Amino acid sequence: MASHALILLQIVVLSSLAATAFSLSPYYYQNICPQALPTIKTLVEAAVYKERRMGASLLRLHFHDCFVNGCDASILLDPSPTIDSEKGARANQNSARGFEVIDEIKAEVDKICGRPVVSCADILAVAARDSVVALGGPSWKVRLGRRDSTTASRTQADIDIPSPLMDLPALINNFRNQGLNQRDLVALSGGHTIGFAQCLAFRGRIYNATNIDPSFAKERRATCPRTGGDTTLAPLDSTAARFDTSYFNSLVKQRGLLTSDQALFSGGSTDNLVNTYRLYPQVFRKDFAQSMLKMGNIKSLTGNQGQIRVNCRMVNY
């Protein structure tokens, strides 16, 4: 009887250890390659210094990666006979960028570590955090130990990445499908305090919306005509190269650039959160960091799942 109980105890302990071993941890590379994170930070800072818009682009890559079958670097895979690349999805085609920066980071990290031990998925997660910090935003301890997918899905990307045309109920549902709540929705949307959007994404709003400041609509129409100029850029808020709360101030003034932005302050259930983040920047910074951690944990591949890609753009064969 005692030996049977001991065996049961050993099984429980081993199961517990296995779960612990395969969970993400901020210290995953501490012994494997302690120079990995400082190397990523240095290269991200250099890329953002060279072009401040790159910070928003790297943050967006991580976001668009996590929303499609989890944070597994599937967004980085190029098209091939076996890969239906997510780069061709509506939300990514001709707009997702920063791939060369990720390639550069991967090559340098593998060189520093002496072998490919850092996953492309982890590089995306750390680069997103370091980009936010480089533009004046909060920091957080990224949980690490993700592995890279061996598949991608353009079809799933078209379904799962939130559209700039979504109204509030659609946004809430979209985030709920990823295990994220309304607070996560508003906090993560606050990432639009940095970066730009293409005319194609906001044309309908500046010409047709009624919940828009007329002078703002006129200003945006000057560079986004009714036809043509689809890829012309406009800033998502008035301080597009600085992580602050201008985004939330703009929503209260009906100067949200995207339909999905202004939906957060339109007489609905998220109005109070927008006001909270606008008035209390520290609350926004704290919630943003927490929601980024939560998002970074979506369906992560760990342990023996997936692989550590040698080249982020292709599966190891």
Residues with catalytic function: 64
Question: Nearest Cα to 119, choosing from 93, 94, 143?
Answer: 143
In what helix (H) or strand (E) does residue 104 lie, and over which residues does it extend?
helix 99-113
Residue 189 to residue 199: CA distance in whole angstroms: 19
Could you tell me whether strands 233-235 and 196-198 are parallel, antiparallel, or unpaired per DSSP bridges? antiparallel
| C-alpha to C-alpha distances, 25 to 22, 31, 82, 185, 254, nearest whole angstrom | 9, 12, 32, 24, 41
CB environment 227-266: b (16+ within 10 A), e (fewer): eeeeebbbbbbebbbebbbbbbbbbeebbbbbbbbbbbbb
| C-alpha to C-alpha distances, 83 to 77, 86, 88, 254, 300, nearest whole angstrom | 7, 9, 11, 41, 19
Which pair of structure tokens corresponds to residue 124? 């995306």
Chain mean position to CA 252: 24
Strand partners, 146: none
